[in-house]
Structure 1
């Protein structure tokens, strides 16, 4: 593990502005940097921007790893490789950068927190405390036991011990509550520096940071809410009961990072830059490698869900016994021996649908949206589905009445996200047009399509009788139970933008029941990533032994 501070610092970034020239670049010679020479407000924008890239669009990113594991992506016939994605035979090199890069990013936040608390930047320190919980949660959920209490201590602790995942979970909740208390305390501190444009998430709105901390607590508690440990389960119920009435409430809009992405080298939205188009406007290399699975396409098509047209282009195939190609939404099967292509179909090949992503500043909607689109850290739809699950399972009060409202609002929020255009304005992103109020605004993007979706008829009658859409006709338990359909619609909402949250749900609940690659060595899905070789080489005495890609995280109890 790289334990020396690596501050992602750009020369044009100052305490007064976040319009930096190379805000995705990595700092030169990180080991020569001393934390004492930089104030927390200068570091914050870089740290937040890098978190977003690691989460969604970097090479590697949590989103790209999970988009394969969760059944959203497969390969085309124009590229070889992707053996580990298709067989689940993970090595210590597979997505190893997630481990090191996340710890590097956590070092940034650790400096902001420790330095900010004692130098007049308590609000910056509180933000860093929240984001440290965010980053450690990502690590625990993919690796299980990790360095925590002895991590981020620089040269004084180069071989940190590994803490138990369930113990880290407990402390993450403590840290989030502590961050909220820190923000409240800073309000009466006349000497405390305010947060301004260096906050590329909420623009210095500390109430929104408290709401985000509460929503993160809900994510954490829900994830560990179905273990076989009676003590954990009881504690989860107690904490959720208190959380439901938290005075600052929860997020009311997508939580996104927007450092003013633009069409310049190192400044485009990272997901768009990697999988859509380059700064020069040419197709990104990996645009030709990944296509949607037929499974995820079918979930939209079979339920007359118009979001499919916002996510994918049409493909084509030549049906058996015909010489004429027909268009449709066409994907592949992860691990199939003859994957789909991208050119004109033949009798034995398919032309796959591709991810939408126009190479212009005006690209609207979809997964990639545009080069200047913000990068999500948490979607409003995810939070609403989390609330709905907690309510229908009796973990929150409100029961199925409130759960139904949050379920439908979660679908609406997803429609708004996929239909809304890219924007460079923090005010537009976090303003009334894209908050909860938009769910009752007929002119909001995606609302008309949502209303049509709910009322659409299909071969089986209508979505009014479809338990995957209509909360009232879902059963109490089982694959069409209320928890199951909440997880199902959440899966559709997180598609390829926050895939790691869907992957965590699949491991936690077994839902939805995604196909297993036919090349899977053990005939089943993996359950985790392996510790990188760098850890085995430098921290040998502490790295857990006997771990493979089927060793479960403590909250994963469903086979």
Structure 2
């Protein structure tokens, strides 16, 4: 009996030790802060929050970025003037890849992989097809933003982990070709299933489709100087599939009345006051008696709207004061230059990344170029509708819209069509997507901005044509970095991207 008990105890201890070791090993290998099963809706909205500047995006990778708005000369800096004078050449795009693009890739993977696609943490957020389609559209929008800022970028080999630690730089022409394909396929991929209440379109699948097709139209116009035949063909396809149809279709990121997801300009006015409205915007709106001026800007201490001259620097800044703001009470003690209007700088003020007005102006240009039927008669109609949509978006009354449209400086003129269309598009895009307005300026030369900038700190003092690659590419991806420089041109602010001819 004693011998039996001893043998039993040995077996018990061995089994217990093995079981305990397995439990300890399992516990060590499980990260409680990184679950193995993804809640796809949270990952999707996390990507959107990053782009809104509230999920780690910061001031240089969110869509309505301070830098993008400065490049487009909507704003002037009040103290630190490096960005408006182009002293900051290198911007890091790594956050886009490791943040929202990685999240969206995971959303696509979890809705594709049979091991995860039917789990409740996936299906709670809509049909597999709808989640994949929306993720592809948002990912394409991000890649479009990156390539328009830097030119040739890592694309086909990006985010392949240990398989490709040093991804090649794809030519921008090839990236555009693939983005047209991605957006075309994605908008056709939506099925009759549901989609969760995302932060951009509240789960409205039709709006996601309209945005995808509208982005294709935007991209098609980028090709106007480098490949107009492809641009015209792609524009027609986008129109046929269905563009935005009203302001309800606006791709508007929704900030909230709480600090974790607040409008970045409101956050800046809490204690920094880095940005005033630029004289380039104020003076142009004054010249046109534009009723959006009281919406875009606050009055200065003289009761007028006063823009801070763009890229004012050094001792010259001493003569200007932006005043103060009590963000809690939503009151302003003005200085002698205008702060951003509260409609655009309150805590929950939305940022419109792509607007119906913008797409109407795109159709006006396409008609003027002969890409779609109607010629300048159709261009005039789309142009007028674009202005009207922007004014309505900003709460302007019908009577004031009629008065504004009747002005000689506003009425469509076929001999000056492109400048009028792009200038009105620029006005309409205020503090929505500065990177887009900067791209349109590079493509067309409109509106007439300060260029060269007398106080600029870059070599030629001109508005940059692109941004330099992050230092990490030169340090860690040297061979591919050297290849892209040889193909695209010097890694400099003055180098033109493929479509910028």
TM over 0.5: yes
Q: What SS does the corresponding residue of 2:373 show, helix, strand or coil?
A: coil
C-alpha distance in 1 between matches for 2:305 and 2:337: 8
The 1:33–1:409 alpha-carbon spacing in structure 2 relative to 1, beyond 3 Å, is farther
> Residues 256 and 378 of structure 1 are in contact (CA less than 8 Å); yes or no, is this contact kept in structure 2?
yes
Please state how far the C-alpha of 1:129 moved relative to its aligned partner.
Answer: 0.5
1:267 is the counterpart of 2:251: no
Please state how far the C-alpha of 1:205 moved relative to its aligned partner.
Answer: 2.3
C-alpha distance in 2 between matches for 1:502 and 1:403: 20
Q: Say which of 376, 385, 406 aligns to 1:400.
A: 376
Q: Say which of 311, 315, 327 aligns to 1:335.
A: 311
C-alpha distance in 1 between matches for 2:35 and 2:361: 40
In proportion to residue count, which structure has more helix? 2
Q: After the TM superposition, which residues 356-371 of structure 1 pair with which residues of structure 2 at under 5 Å, given as runs?
A: 356-357=341-342, 366-368=343-345, 370-371=346-347
Larger CA deviation: 44-53 vs 291-300: 44-53
Please state how far the C-alpha of 1:142 moved relative to its aligned partner.
Answer: 0.3
C-alpha distance in 2 between matches for 1:250 and 1:206: 12
Q: Where does residue 250 of structure 2 map in the other structure? A: 254
Q: After the TM superposition, which residues 362-441 of structure 1 pair with which residues of structure 2 at under 5 Å, given as runs?
A: 366-368=343-345, 370-419=346-395
Q: After the TM superposition, which residues 394-543 of structure 1 pair with which residues of structure 2 at under 5 Å, given as runs?
A: 394-419=370-395, 446-455=397-406, 463=407, 465-466=408-409, 469-471=410-412, 474-476=413-415, 481-516=416-451, 517-520=453-456, 521-543=459-481
Following superposition, which runs of at least 4 residues in structure 1 exceed 3 angstroms of deviation? Answer: 31-36, 54-58, 248-251, 445-448
1:553 is the counterpart of 2:491: no
The 1:307–1:36 alpha-carbon spacing in structure 2 relative to 1, beyond 3 Å, is same
Q: What SS does the corresponding residue of 1:315 show, helix, strand or coil?
A: coil
The size of the alignment, in residue pairs, is 432
Larger CA deviation: 387-396 vs 200-209: 200-209
Q: What SS does the corresponding residue of 2:276 show, helix, strand or coil?
A: strand
The 1:165–1:205 alpha-carbon spacing in structure 2 relative to 1, beyond 3 Å, is same
Please state how far the C-alpha of 1:380 moved relative to its aligned partner.
Answer: 1.4
The 1:265–1:513 alpha-carbon spacing in structure 2 relative to 1, beyond 3 Å, is closer
* 1:28-84, Cα deviation, whole Å (9 max, x unpaired): xxx9976851142332222223223379984233431121111222122xx2x3234
> Residues 222 and 231 of structure 2 are in contact (CA less than 8 Å); yes or no, is this contact kept in structure 1?
no
TM-score of the superposed pair, with normalisation by structure 1: 0.72
Q: Where does residue 123 of structure 2 map in the other structure? A: none
Q: Which runs of 5+ in 1 are unaligned?
A: 1-30, 188-192, 277-283, 317-325, 345-349, 358-365, 420-444, 456-462
Q: After the TM superposition, which residues 180-191 of structure 1 pair with which residues of structure 2 at under 5 Å, given as runs?
A: 180-183=187-190, 186-187=191-192
Q: What SS does the corresponding residue of 1:389 show, helix, strand or coil?
A: helix
Q: What SS does the corresponding residue of 1:160 show, helix, strand or coil?
A: coil
Please state how far the C-alpha of 1:146 moved relative to its aligned partner.
Answer: 0.4
Larger CA deviation: 40-49 vs 393-402: 40-49
The 1:108–1:135 alpha-carbon spacing in structure 2 relative to 1, beyond 3 Å, is same
Q: After the TM superposition, which residues 80-95 of structure 1 pair with which residues of structure 2 at under 5 Å, given as runs?
A: 81-86=80-85, 88-92=86-90, 95=91
C-alpha distance in 1 between matches for 2:480 and 2:284: 44
Q: Rg larger in 1 or in 2?
A: 2
C-alpha distance in 1 between matches for 2:259 and 2:344: 21
Please state how far the C-alpha of 1:99 moved relative to its aligned partner.
Answer: 4.3
C-alpha distance in 1 between matches for 2:56 and 2:163: 32
Q: Which runs of 5+ in 2 are unaligned?
A: 1-30, 119-127, 324-334
Q: Where does residue 19 of structure 2 map in the other structure? A: none
C-alpha distance in 1 between matches for 2:102 and 2:403: 47
C-alpha distance in 1 between matches for 2:420 and 2:75: 22
Please state how far the C-alpha of 1:126 moved relative to its aligned partner.
Answer: 0.7
* 1:360-391, Cα deviation, whole Å (9 max, x unpaired): xxxxxx322x3223332311111111111111
> Residues 312 and 329 of structure 1 are in contact (CA less than 8 Å); yes or no, is this contact kept in structure 2?
yes
